Amino acid sequence: MVAWIQSTLPSLPWDVILLAGRAAFLIFSFLVAAIAFTRWRHAAECDTEHTAQQTERVLERLAVLEAALAASDARIAAQAQQLEMQLSASANGSAAGYQIAARLARAGASRDELMSGCGLTQQEAELVARLHGTPRRAARSHPAAA
């Protein structure tokens, strides 16, 4: 075989040899490019699949969080409504208690009577007695004022 190559080389012109070399180099380069492109495409497909899986997991977690948030919103709304009812009942009851305390103070009730009868604190009873009570009765119920 070596003899054949030696016998044919001197008879071929250098242009043909260089042309054959270029052709072999181009074919080799095309094969390397094809292999690289195939690997690159496979890696891109794997990355796309991995990203799709991660996105799916994030969406599942987001759905769980949305459900938890909706449940929390419902509980908060129920508790707010319950608190509003308690506050309105408390405001109605305390307003009625202050009205009764004011009537009793006008009738001459002492601070102790206002505290025990209407459930007022000592300061509240003193204030109601001063605002609604008779001047001498309010002065007698608070010893420091006398």
Number of helices (H) and strands (E) in the chain: give both, helices first: 5, 0
**Which pLDDT tens digit goes with each residue over 60-90?**
999 999 999 999 999 999 999 998 888 776 6
Question: Which of 132, 140, 78, 80 is CA-nearest to residue 110?
Answer: 140
Asked whether the predicted pLDDT for residue 112 surpasses 60, the reply is yes
Dig out the tokens for 114 from the structure: 């206002």
Look at residue 146 in the predicted model and tell me its pLDDT.
44
Dig out the tokens for 66 from the structure: 């949305």
Rounded to whole angstroms, the maximal C-alpha distance in the chain is: 144
pTM of the entire structure? 0.42
